[in-house]
Structure formats: structure tokens, C-alpha cells
Copies of this chain bind each other. A is one copy, B any other.
Amino acid sequence: MSKKKPLILITNDDGITAPGIRALISVMNEIGDVLVVAPDSPQSAKGHAITISETLYCDKITIDADAPQEEYSCSGTPVDCVKMATHEILKRKPDLCVSGVNHGSNAAINVIYSGTMSAAVEAGIEGIPAIGFSLLDYSMQANFEPCKKYIKEIVEQVLANGLQKGVVLNVNIPKLEASEIKGVKICRQANAHWEEEFDKRVSPMGREYYWLTGKFVNEDKGEDTDEWALSQGYVSVVPTQFDLTAHHYIQELNSWEFNKKQ
């Protein structure tokens, strides 16, 4: 690997053969030296799960013999992939970790369920500038071409400016033609939740089981949110942190009557 180019770690949660990560690899090969460590199978909605009760496999593979990147396929979660890359495969800390491009939105509360974003957060915890990219199209036939310009622009900005320790970027891209995307907006995470409905069925053995399904409900009308920006045709960028402390609430809790009886 050459000396001047940044070392870029790539992972995702849709699995190493998903079109989204292949698109991300092609853009990153224009910018740096690329290492891919990604799940061997789909790991959507795995959040920040890590594998501690099972063994992990991690095998070097070749998907495109003509491409310059090294690739490893890992049996674990997206967060496992980041740990495996940084602590087992790489000799030095990468300059950047990018995760995705996810097939589907990770805006609003989806950030918390997302394997894609959890991988970026894990890199952030390890002090690596990190970005998660998602396209608002769940299809495995999604068109990632319009994303590429924005991915490149955002990555170049992060490499030029750095990111404060404790912050990673959550980037979502609307499902639009390149000419229809209006630009980049810095946003906050919209307040939203999922209203679950369980689809109850009976197995051929006569046992009841469920499929988790649900409806996304955005209760936040703010025009500074990621959901709003995406609805207006912008690429949304939310600075995302892993200090989960609700600092504003510490004073309130200190007014409660703890320790009275001791």
C-alpha cells in the first residue's frame, strides 16, 4: 500500500456481496487504500450486538480479482467486523471507517437498530473518524450511482477537516436521480418510533410463532431534522454521539430525594 493515501476500512450490515458495499468500495478506491471486512451474511437490525457466546470465522476472500482492495468475510456482526479489522487484521489504525451503503433508511430512530451505524459508532469509540451511509431504497436492485458524488464529497470533507472525538456521521441519501438531489443538509435526528404489529402464524408442527413487522411513525415536524431534509430531497448528515448521558437531566435527578434514609 502506498504511503500518502489514507487507509480506509469498509464494512456494512447487508453482507459483503450486497450492491451497496460494492458501490462504496468503488468510490473509496478512488480516494485511498481500502480494506473490506464485512459480514458473510445479512446482519440488518443487529444494532450494537457483538458475538461473545459463539466463535467467529474471518476468511480472506476475492470477489473481484482485478480490484485493488483486500477483503475479509466475517461470520459476526458489523461491530465484530470493525473489532476484527482493527485488532486482528490491520497493523495500524485506519484513517477512516465507512459503513454501508445500507439498503434502506437509517434516519431518525433507525440509527439505534442499525448494524451499519453501529459499525461506524464502534470505529468512533476506537478513535477512528467514521461515517455510515444509507440509501432510502431497500431493494437489492437499488441504484447507487446518484449517491457516489455525495459519498465522495462527504468523505473528502471528513478527511480534510477531521471529526471531533466522540462524533461520527450518519448520512442518509434520498432515492432520487442525481439531478433531483438538492445538496447536503446538517440535521438533528428526528423523534420517531416504530409501531409494531406482530404477524402471528402457526407452524406446520402446530406451534404459534410471530414475524416482527411495523410501521414507522415520525412525530417530529421540525424542519431541522433528517426526516424533513430527506423529504425535501436533501442528503441528511447527522452528527451522532455515543456518550448517551442526558446531561440536561442530571440537575433534575439531583433534586430527587435519594439517600434520605441512609
Contacts and interface: CB of A to CB of B under 8 A. Distances in A.
Nearest to A82: B196
A118 B47 contact: yes
Contacts of A170: 244
A2 interface: no
Most buried by B among A112, A189, A207: A112
Contact of A44 (B52, B184, B256): B52
Given A188-B245, A198-B88, A49 B52 contact: no
Contacts of A48: 47-49, 112-113, 118
Contact of A246 (B83, B109, B166): B166
Given A84-B198, A87-B197, A167 B249 contact: yes
Given A47-B118, A55-B209, A188-B245, A193 B240 contact: no
Interface in A34-61: 42, 44-53, 55-58
Given A46-B49, A209-B57, A243-B189, A157 B256 contact: yes
Contact of A244 (B55, B112, B195): B112
A244 B246 contact: no
A154 B194 CA distance: 28
Contact of A247 (B83, B153, B188): B188
B241 A211 contact: no
A237 B212 contact: no
Contacts of A247: 188
A48 B83 CA distance: 18
Interface of A: 42, 44-53, 55-58, 76-77, 79-80, 83-84, 86-88, 109, 111-113, 118, 121, 125-126, 153-154, 157, 161, 164, 166-167, 170, 182-184, 186, 188-189, 191, 193, 195-198, 200-201, 203, 207-212, 237-247, 249-250, 252-254, 256-259, 261-262
19 contacts: A42-B53, A45-B52, A47-B47, A48-B113, A49-B49, A51-B212, A52-B212, A55-B209, A56-B198, A58-B210, A79-B113, A87-B196, A88-B196, A109-B125, A112-B125, A154-B258, A183-B258, A183-B259, A239-B253
Given A45-B49, A86-B196, 5 more contacts: A55-B203, A88-B196, A88-B200, A111-B244, A186-B254
